[in-house]
């Protein structure tokens, strides 16, 4: 064809190319006319053919309103764009002319209107009889198209490219352009890009035992427990137990952890259903917590930010006194001693070595005091090797007894108080009218410390209702389990101990109430309000702290999702945008 756009035999459908109207293939006749492909049209009487020619001629000559507004792309997605040049009127009549005209002696021109305006309908009767049944459908489609155009002359129709957005016109064109036979209608055809995920999602919802169930079922179970619907809770737990796997992927591990906590919530006195309080305070739990701080960058960077804040506040003083209420296994203090030694070597090697005094506050006596002495001996040997003078002391006493004398404070020393994952384990006004948490803060404020560091998990797990507290626990521990996948092998012994520690934390937070609930985590906003009421002001951590933490974060290999969130007086470490720990400084 002169237009350069290939067509197809009418028996196989219509051919169309970008930027052109749809064209029909035709054959030359020896007399210069055109005969429709080998099929021809249905047999008609001479009167019908004359009426058809008159109808075609009337379509070409009639004046149709030009369309004046356009809409979004065509709803007929498989239809190519039509080239509408300046000389062409963008009308449905011209589109029909392009569809119904094809002459060898009058090829397509820029306007999209052929030179000849009539069809040659002199097809043989024999050809018409061969495919009469098949061509009857096509002829009816053409006649329907003509009637649509004649009826819609006065209707305002919006077009974009080649498609007219009138519903009837779109349906007619859809039928016309579809290759015969038309496909049967379908109730819903999923997108090629989403069919797999849709199928998998449907499968998951139907067979929760074959895939990790959604966390929504966990939340629904907690709601059912709150509302007293034990049957619903039991049915959900039966499904969740089949999906749980403490050695599977993070979702399966979370499900196992939360199911155990919910079962303990429903029946706390059943054998093996609840975790004894002694387990949350045991030496194994303390050791596993230390492994958590080492394995999770979120905890490690929180402790690192606290150490950097202490270094910044005590940088000009050779005598440093650190009061720590929970030294754990001594990992944070060991890192602090290393940092103090490095600063001394780099800044003032000619001066006497700094003197560091560590006071470990222990409210109880017994095995815990013995463990603290062992940790103190290790820290003393480390400090001696690094050239730092260290004195390590243990103070046993109640909160009400803490003062300058009992804590062995001395004039001229820079006092730093460290609350690393400790205050959330101290009861507040929701547990006791004595409010030990606020009492401790007031006692510390009376010491006039140079700096107070606070590191806590970011979770609303204190006074929130059970359902809200459970949802917070799901999100928090779920993100923790996902982050552990980036730092520890799933089958490692250390990770098993860490996750057992997390399971004890979750069970105590979810299943217990009152004085039996040991950990009562808060979000940073509540800590800020509580510290303010105790008389503390936030201390800006400074760019040095955030930059060093960022540097350590960037050194992690294959870091898929650890994030930092900076604010004026705090630094949040998290996973995939969810903050898990927050470090802050106060004075």
Which of 33-47, 88-102, 128-142, 418-432 has maximum average pLDDT? 418-432
pLDDT reported for residue 344:
84
Burial of 144: CB neighbours in 10 Å, binned 0-12, 13-18, 19+:
middle
Reference 324, options 504, 449, 435; nearest CA is 449
C-beta of residue 55 within 8 angstroms of C-beta of residue 67: no
Band (111; pLDDT cuts 50, 70, 90): very low
- How many Cβ atoms sit within 10 Å of the Cβ of residue 253? 26
Give the predicted TM-score (pTM) of the model: 0.64
Cα separations in angstroms, 182 against 174, 178, 557: 10, 6, 56
Q: CA angle, 59 as apex, 88 and 119 as ends, to 5°?
A: 100
Higher pLDDT residue, 322 or 370? 322
Query: pLDDT digits over 220-235, tens only?
Result: 999 999 999 999 999 9
Interval 486-532: pLDDT, tens = 888 999 999 999 999 999 999 999 999 998 899 999 999 999 999 99
Ranking 398-402, 458-462, 556-560 by mean pLDDT, the lowest is 556-560
**Burial profile 183-222: b = 16 or more Cβ within 10 angstroms, e = fewer:** eeeeeeeeeeeeeeeeeeeeeeeeebeebbbebebbbbbb
Domains of the chain: 285-457+525-535 (3.40.50.150)
pLDDT at 368: 78
pLDDT at 404: 93
How much is the pLDDT for 321?
97
CB 389 within 8 A of CB 352: no
Q: To the nearest whole number, what is the mean pLDDT of the chain? A: 74
Question: Is it the case that residue 212 has pLDDT exceeding 50?
Answer: no
E strands present in 228-377: 319-324, 355-362
**pLDDT, tens digit, 9 for 90 and up, residues 240-276:** 999 999 999 999 999 999 999 999 999 876 555 556 6
């Amino acid at each position: 064809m002169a237009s350069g756009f290939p067509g197809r035999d009418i028996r196989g459908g219509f051919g169309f190319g970008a930027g052109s109207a749809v064209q029909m293939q035709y054959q030359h006749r020896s007399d210069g006319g055109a005969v429709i492909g080998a099929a021809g049209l249905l047999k008609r009487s001479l009167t019908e053919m004359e009426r058809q020619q008159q109808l075609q001629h009337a379509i070409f000559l009639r004046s149709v309103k030009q369309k004046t507004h356009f809409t979004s792309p065509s709803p007929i997605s498989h239809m190519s764009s039509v080239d509408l040049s300046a000389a062409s009127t963008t009308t449905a009549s011209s589109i029909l002319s392009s569809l119904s005209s094809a002459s060898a002696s009058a090829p397509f021109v820029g306007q999209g209107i052929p030179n000849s305006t009539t069809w040659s309908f002199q097809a043989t009767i024999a050809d018409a009889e061969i495919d009469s049944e098949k061509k009857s459908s096509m002829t009816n489609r053409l006649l329907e198209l003509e009637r649509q155009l004649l009826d819609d002359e006065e209707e305002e129709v919006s077009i974009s490219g080649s498609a007219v957005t009138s519903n009837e016109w779109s349906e007619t064109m859809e039928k016309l352009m579809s290759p015969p036979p038309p496909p049967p209608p379908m109730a819903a055809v999923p997108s090629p890009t989403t069919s797999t995920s849709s199928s998998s999602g449907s499968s998951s919802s139907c067979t929760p035992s074959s895939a990790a169930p959604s966390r929504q079922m966990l939340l629904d179970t907690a709601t059912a427990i709150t509302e007293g619907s034990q049957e619903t809770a039991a049915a959900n737990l039966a499904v969740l137990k089949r999906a749980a796997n403490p050695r599977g992927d993070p979702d399966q591990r979370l499900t196992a952890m939360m199911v155990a906590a919910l079962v303990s919530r429903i029946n706390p006195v059943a054998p093996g259903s609840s975790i004894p309080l002694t387990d949350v305070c045991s030496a194994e739990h303390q050791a596993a917590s230390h492994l958590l701080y080492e394995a999770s960058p979120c905890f490690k960077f929180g402790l690192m930010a606290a150490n950097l804040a202490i270094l910044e506040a005590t940088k000009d003083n050779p005598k440093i006194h650190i009061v720590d209420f929970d030294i754990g296994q001594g990992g944070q203090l060991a890192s602090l001693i290393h940092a103090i030694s490095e600063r001394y070597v780099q800044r003032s090697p000619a001066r006497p070595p700094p003197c560091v005094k560590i006071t470990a506050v222990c409210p109880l006596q017994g095995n815990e005091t013995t463990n603290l002495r062992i940790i103190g001996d290790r820290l003393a040997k480390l400090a001696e090797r690094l050239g730092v003078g260290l004195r390590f002391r243990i103070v046993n006493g109640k909160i009400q007894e803490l003062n300058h004398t009992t804590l062995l404070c001395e004039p001229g020393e820079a006092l730093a108080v460290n609350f690393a994952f400790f205050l959330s384990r101290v009861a507040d006004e929701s547990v006791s009218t004595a409010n030990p948490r606020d009492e401790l803060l007031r006692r510390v404020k009376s010491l006039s410390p140079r700096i107070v560091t606070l590191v806590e998990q970011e979770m609303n797990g204190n006074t929130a209702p059970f359902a809200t507290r459970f949802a917070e626990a799901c999100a928090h521990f779920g993100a923790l389990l996902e982050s552990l996948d980036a730092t520890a092998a799933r089958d490692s012994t250390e990770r098993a101990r860490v996750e057992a520690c997390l399971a004890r934390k979750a069970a105590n937070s979810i299943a217990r109430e009152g004085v039996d609930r040991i950990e009562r985590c808060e979000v940073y906003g509540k800590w800020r309000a509580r510290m303010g009421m105790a008389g503390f002001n936030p201390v800006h951590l400074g760019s040095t702290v955030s930059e060093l933490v960022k540097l350590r974060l960037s050194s992690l290999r294959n870091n898929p999702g650890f994030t930092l969130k900076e604010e004026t007086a705090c630094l949040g470490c998290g996973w995939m945008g969810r903050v898990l720990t927050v470090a802050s400084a106060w004075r």
